[in-house]
Structure 1
Amino acid sequence: MEKFKTVDLCAGIGGIRRGFELTGKTENVLSAENDKYACKTYEHLYNENPMHDITTDEFKELMNETDYDILLAGFPCQAFSAVGKREGFKDATRGTIFFYLAEMIEETRPKAFLLENVEGLLTHDKGNTFEVILDTLINQLDYRIVGVQENLMGDGFYFERSDLLRNAKDFGVPQNRPRVYLVGFDNQRYGEKIKKLKFRQLPKKRSRKPIYNDLNDVLVMGEDKSFYLAQGYVDTLKEHKSKQGAKGNGFGYVVVNAEGIKHPISNALLATGGSGKERNLVYDPQEGIAGLVVKNKKTPLNDEGIRMMTPDEWAKLQGFLGYAFVENGEETFSFPDDVSNTQRYKQLGNSVAIPVIEEIAIKLVDSLEKLESE
């Protein structure tokens, strides 16, 4: 059977695309990303520049001209209008990225899609946002969503949050990263055939042995001094944690491999602000680090051996390094040399855990093969 053609929208550095490519049954025919730094990394990995703005008429025309089967998108979470169902998605979602994705789905009718988003999408705007999304995809665009049950009367749908959430830690990488995954199949194209599919729920875990047993398999000890925290920064983090603790909050820095943790895992890697780093600090003591004066750090290095994770360690936790780009035993993943560490953290924090995508992709592609062969 010919490979299924994918389009990779809101592409970032191509994590969703790569998860599908690992099935060996897809090829990507169009990509879109508007962050110039992410585009640089994407081009470095895939030899194509995805710089497109999906909100433009030009891209809409390009999509209409593209022959493809599966739409992929890790779209941003935005507030929608409260008018919701009564006015239809074009009124409820106008101006959001989801609006443009929904329009493309309406006009190009992909056989299937995968949409990915943060866990907070489920509760965003008191649940209104997610209700509008599901109403749009199910009732207005006529797609069957894996994990969502339609009422027998045909007048609504229901779901359990747990049916649409999957966590990277269950898929072979030691990272606590719950995300929402929406897989849809075209009712208009396949009709009753969809009801025969065994793909009724998202895979709950990796189907093969874990890639890493725990965080100890990911971390590289004895890292460069530039990754160690200044003493003043550590003191500030401790003070902040103490103040939050006094208020009954659990916020604050975390040393993820602190002594006594038998099987450490990381917290979610985040693209925004410092919290993705501060909640993923590493205990990595080595001789000669404490008290060192390092350029651009306001105070000497801390005396507790605390450092940030490196971009390479983040890349392992997302499945990029050491897994998804290993070809014939050779590692082929890298960043362009001129992409800064700041950008590397951002791009990885914005990306997906590829092993989760891969498991979903295996199920999705297998289902499409069955639908197409009947």
Structure 2
Amino acid sequence: MKVLELYSGIGGMHYALRESGVAAEVVAAIDINPVANAVYRHNFPKTILMNRNIESLSTQELEKLDFNAIFMSPPCQPFTRLGLKKDALDNRACSLLHILNLIPELKSLRYILLENVKGFEVSQMREKLVHCMETCGYDYRELILSPCQFGVPNSRNRYYLLAKRKSLKFSFVQPSLKDDLSSKLIKLLPKSKHSILAEKNGKINSKSGRMCYTLDNILENVEESKYLLPTKLLQKRAWVLDIRTSENSGSCCFTKGYGHYAEGTGSVYCPFADETIKLKYGEAGNRENNSDEQVQVLLDLKLRFFSPKEVCRLMCFPEDFDFPKDITNRQKYRLLGNSINVHVISRLIHLLHIENKNT
């Protein structure tokens, strides 16, 4: 498999390809974000990296790259529940439309993997994508999956499309879009460090009903003062925070606004037990709203943001993944929020690649 990585970001697809165990190489990566490209180049200095607007790519230029697979995670803003949902009319959807126009001309292309937000599955753009697959001679499978279905303590529901030429048979039959993998399909997947850890040191995750390992497995020793929630944030948002402890087996989806906004952008960490959190919040509720006494009770909980490294681990980036030294924490959170879960993609690459097995 020779992969062209579009919207390459910080290299999540590249790492997923490595983890999948499939014999493959990334022949080139393309992204227009200079900060993301700096991170990609830092971790994959030998890979051809093109700082380009995808809409400017031509068939002739792409054919010179000699690839037979496209992995991509196009912009999600046209489809996200927090956006305007302008769908195919959003300017940020133009690059994907351009790719769909190029696919019929890419005769050597055999495999396609696309990731996007939950909500894409009911979009006009999804209809255009599926139409392209059907008219260009591809079989495809659609799934909505989350890392917590694979033993990872994080919820990040995403739409996935796997497609390949009809001459290449899928290893599984799927009549319609699914939001989970069947037990038979899971058996096709090799054991991973995540599934093994979940079996050995896991608790039931309330979102998936599956065993997930606990958050103590992703925590690092950090300088607390760097990540403590500011007093003003506690005054305004203390009652809507999703607070997790080391013994929890789940966390909320981390978005690009994490570390800057608190509500709906991801979970925060508390070093104390759930019972202590409950008692402290009860005590705070009995104090005058926004008073110094109330804020001090909340400050005693030492609530902090998860560090970028911890978020990396929840998104299953390998330990040797690193950011250049000049990348700020805010940039790190933004880049991670726009990235993919490496482990989930690695499982899907494996399923995309294997063939001729009935499940």
Q: TM-score band, normalised by the shorter chain?
A: 0.7 to 0.9
Distance 1:44 1:141 in 2: 37
Cα 1:232–1:276 change in 2 (3 A) is: closer
8 Å contact kept, 1:203–1:360: no
* Letter matched to residue 112 of structure 1: Y
> Any idea what the Cα deviations from partners look like across 1:214-272, whole Å, max 9, x if unmatched?
2221123564311001222111103xx4xxxxxxxxxx3211228xxx54311111114
- Alignment of 1:359 with 2:347, yes or no, is yes
| Aligned match of 2:243 | 255
> Any idea what the Cα deviations from partners look like across 1:171-191, whole Å, max 9, x if unmatched?
23211111111001123xx2x
| Aligned match of 1:65 | 64
- Alignment of 1:333 with 2:315, yes or no, is no
8 Å contact kept, 2:113–2:162: yes
* Letter matched to residue 236 of structure 2: T
| Aligned match of 2:26 | 28
* Letter matched to residue 353 of structure 2: V
* Letter matched to residue 152 of structure 2: V
8 Å contact kept, 2:31–2:51: yes
> Any idea what the Cα deviations from partners look like across 1:286-331, whole Å, max 9, x if unmatched?
xxxxxxxxxxxxx999332100000000000011144xxxxxxxxx
TM-score with structure 2 length normalisation? Answer: 0.73
Cα 1:31–1:17 change in 2 (3 A) is: same
8 Å contact kept, 2:163–2:352: no
8 Å contact kept, 1:8–1:71: yes
* Letter matched to residue 144 of structure 1: D
Q: Is 65-74 or 93-102 further displaced after alignment? A: 93-102
User: How many residue pairs align between the two structures?
Assistant: 293
| Aligned match of 1:186 | 165
- Alignment of 1:200 with 2:193, yes or no, is no
8 Å contact kept, 1:315–1:348: yes
Distance 2:262 2:32 in 1: 24
Distance 1:119 1:39 in 2: 26
Identity %: 22
* Structure 2 counterpart of 1:145, from 140, 147, 159: 140
Alpha-carbon RMSD: 2.9
Cα 1:80–1:283 change in 2 (3 A) is: closer
* Structure 2 counterpart of 1:281, from 268, 275, 281: 268
Cα deviation for residue 348 of structure 1 reads 1.2
TM-score with structure 1 length normalisation? Answer: 0.70
| Aligned match of 1:177 | 156
* Letter matched to residue 114 of structure 2: L
Cα 1:183–1:308 change in 2 (3 A) is: same
- For structure 2, the residue ranges without an aligned partner over 5 or more in a row are 79-85, 175-179, 199-212, 273-294
> Any idea what the Cα deviations from partners look like across 1:22-53, whole Å, max 9, x if unmatched?
21411010110111000000001100434222
Partner of 2:171: helix, strand, or coil?
coil
Distance 2:243 2:13 in 1: 29
Distance 2:323 2:222 in 1: 22
Cα deviation for residue 128 of structure 1 reads 3.0
Partner of 2:309: helix, strand, or coil?
helix
